Structure 1
Amino acid sequence: MPFTTPISDPTLLQSPLDTETLYISGLPVKIYGLSSHPPSTPLTCVHLLHGRHLTHESMSGIARSLLLHTTSPHSHSQALICAAFDSRNHGSRTTSPLANGSWKEGNPTHAQDMFSIYHGTVEDLRMVVEYLGVYLRRPIRHFAVGLSLGGHAAYLALALPRVEGVVSIVGCPDYRRLMAGRAEGSGVDVREVFEGTGLGDIVGRLDPAAIGVEGLREVWKGKKLLVLSGGADKLVPYACSEPFLAEVKGAVGRGELELDIKDVVYEGVGHDCTTEMVRELVRWFVACFKDMDGCSKGSSVL
């Protein structure tokens, strides 16, 4: 996986991108694009959740693409910013490098560590969502984009009351299925991992596939979900997400779940964030913002 997410158009590298750091409950949160908007202007914030072994800086390509493409004339009227922070046990918050590793990388508690890290990161996101408007002294609408580990977290973030939509890039909504595949390839008894430790009870309360469509009906009601997956991804295979996503799409089609979902699989792409994925998420956000504006005008974006 590249250290920094790609941008949707190489010419954007020549464009300036302003940043500043807020400290929310002691958590450093990098804000992209704030100086572009007058004080007190209502904002829309896209929170960026990075991958395992990476840092918040790795999401800068997505921040640059969103901010510079969505400010093109007549695209929408949203005053957009992006926000990013290091996930728990990553970057400046690292306390145990081993805990970020897999079973094959010598970490015997891989399943417990990974779920608790991205669960904890979503709890941090909950706090940032709650307080960002307080620090910036203006109303804010909230979305999230997650990559890999952050893509798993994005599914949990969709249940946060004030998050209106998420993009999951090479993430998975079914933790048991994902870990079962990894355990098999690592000689680990997955039943002992989940039932012998009590992890299964926690996953059962939080993981979308474990909760099921019925349990998600209210918390996902009226929200938006974009799923971007690699068809050749061996680390987070689309086959681990597909059964639950098929259930979700079926419920939406029957009118049993009010969710705007788009599921895109890129054949031949592995565990990666590609330029075309970034272009797709930019197009998706522009469409979301137009819906928020109540605008039907066309856009020249991408």
Structure 2
Amino acid sequence: MPILPHDSEAFSKKTVFIGGINVHIYNADSLQSHVENTTGDIPVDVLYLVHERLGNYKYTEAFAFKILEQFYKKGGKQLVCVTFDVRNHGERTVDESKNQDWRGGNASHASDLITVIDGIVADLKLLTTSVPFYLDLDRYISRANKELGTTIKYRHSFSGNSLGGHAVIRFANEYPNLVNVLNPVIGCPDLTTLLVNRLTKAPLDSVAYDKKYFYFEYDELPLNAEQRLVYPESLHRHIAAQDISIYENFNMNIKLFSSHGKDDKLVPTKLASSWLDIYKNTNGVTEAFIQEGVGHATTEEMIDNFTTWLVKHI
């Protein structure tokens, strides 16, 4: 996917080193006046952006600048964004071939995908804990306000694209109390069914996409002996357990805006539709934007619709 055009001079960029990762923070220079001029407890909204497979932080940096520009134009009050290279991508690349899928010749695609996702979840947990250290906003609270017990209240939001979309759903399932807003873009809550159908090359109009393969025992999956070698039973149990938890235990009090391309063939929208229907019936502010004529891509229209919603609900 191409990097979206953006104005890289519109907002500040600060790079800090956190736990071995270069982390990029945008619009941090707006926070001093926000803290100094807010009475009572001080909310600080931080949006973490996670890029796609085969991408790097430059892709989400473009989204960050776009989101910030639109957020403030639409009346938003305060927001900073955070990006970073996910594991085995960008400057963290160890073996680029492991980022390919089965069609790209990577036999261990499923294992490589889920371990990177699990790594992203761990990295996001680290960042939610550590980014406040590097922002160091407490020093801007006046002595009088400190004596009144004024504190900084971080509100963490998460947006992820494709691989990043899969990951932020899993992060929210693992750490629901840390998530204020969730924005999976062309992401999927059901990786079991996605991967099994990708491996078996099931047609998009096949009933296989309605199967919810996370409820299947390994021996019930429609895999031949060769396919089982690249989708082992222990992996199936691991991914299926996560998917079951997302479908049965997800905290749907989290505010959600989900975006999809109607013609997405890589991560078909139908795999998220039933989960989104449940979400919309549970949480009144939930929205799903499904763009006609778009495949597996993040578009400016998706960002525009998200920021309109975000200003209302952050």
Q: What TM-score bracket applies, with the shorter chain setting the length?
A: 0.7 to 0.9
2:302 counterpart letter in structure 1: M
**What are the equivalent positions in structure 2 for 1:43-192 lying under 5 Å apart?**
43-72=44-73, 75-77=75-77, 79-138=78-137, 139=152, 140-159=154-173, 160=175, 161-185=177-201, 189=224, 192=228
1:267 counterpart letter in structure 2: E
Q: Which of structures 1 and 2 has the bigger CA Rg?
A: 2
**What are the equivalent positions in structure 2 for 1:217-228 lying under 5 Å apart?**
220-228=251-259
Shift of 1:188: 6.6
Structure 1 residues 193 and 230: CA distance shift in structure 2, 3 A: farther
Shift of 1:76: 3.7
d(CA) in 2 for partners of 1:83, 1:259: 27
Q: Give the total of aligned pairs.
A: 270
What residue is the counterpart of 1:239 in the other structure? 270
Shift of 1:81: 0.6
Task: Tell me the TM-score normalised to structure 1 length.
Answer: 0.82
Structure 1 residues 193 and 247: CA distance shift in structure 2, 3 A: farther
d(CA) in 1 for partners of 2:73, 2:29: 17
d(CA) in 1 for partners of 2:178, 2:261: 29
Structure 1 residues 259 and 213: CA distance shift in structure 2, 3 A: farther
Indicate the SS of the match to 2:180: strand
Indicate the SS of the match to 1:37: helix
What residue is the counterpart of 1:286 in the other structure? 311
- Offset from partner CA, 1:99-131 (integer Å, 9 cap, x none): 100101000011111111112111100110011
Is 1:268 the counterpart of 2:293? The answer is: yes
Task: Tell me the TM-score normalised to structure 2 length.
Answer: 0.79
What residue is the counterpart of 2:17 in the other structure? 23
Structure 1 residues 284 and 40: CA distance shift in structure 2, 3 A: closer
Indicate the SS of the match to 2:298: coil
Shift of 1:39: 6.6
Identify unmatched segments of 5+ residues in structure 2.
36-41, 138-151, 203-221
What residue is the counterpart of 2:26 in the other structure? 32
2:61 counterpart letter in structure 1: S
**Aligned match of 2:237 in 194, 197, 201?**
201
Higher helix share: 2
Q: Is the Cα–Cα contact under 8 Å of residues 6 and 274 in structure 1 kept in the other structure?
A: no
Structure 1 residues 17 and 176: CA distance shift in structure 2, 3 A: same
Indicate the SS of the match to 1:88: coil
2:180 counterpart letter in structure 1: E
Indicate the SS of the match to 2:23: strand
Shift of 1:134: 2.4
d(CA) in 2 for partners of 1:191, 1:118: 22
What residue is the counterpart of 2:216 in the other structure? none
Q: Is the Cα–Cα contact under 8 Å of residues 19 and 32 in structure 1 kept in the other structure?
A: yes
Q: Is the Cα–Cα contact under 8 Å of residues 222 and 259 in structure 1 kept in the other structure?
A: no
Indicate the SS of the match to 1:22: strand
d(CA) in 2 for partners of 1:14, 1:163: 27
d(CA) in 1 for partners of 2:124, 2:284: 22
Structure 1 residues 179 and 84: CA distance shift in structure 2, 3 A: same
Shift of 1:271: 0.6
1:223 counterpart letter in structure 2: I
d(CA) in 2 for partners of 1:89, 1:263: 30
* Percentage of matched positions with identical amino acids: 29
Shift of 1:193: 6.2
- Offset from partner CA, 1:261-287 (integer Å, 9 cap, x none): 211211110111111111011112111
1:176 counterpart letter in structure 2: T
- Offset from partner CA, 1:67-86 (integer Å, 9 cap, x none): 2222248x243x21100110
d(CA) in 2 for partners of 1:115, 1:6: 30
Q: CA RMSD in A?
A: 2.4
d(CA) in 1 for partners of 2:230, 2:278: 23
Instruction: Detail structure 1 runs of 4+ shifted over 6 Å in the superposition.
Output: none
Q: Is the Cα–Cα contact under 8 Å of residues 5 and 60 in structure 1 kept in the other structure?
A: no
- Offset from partner CA, 1:141-190 (integer Å, 9 cap, x none): 11011001111112112232212111111111100111122111299749
Shift of 1:66: 1.9
What residue is the counterpart of 1:277 in the other structure? 302
d(CA) in 1 for partners of 2:104, 2:227: 20
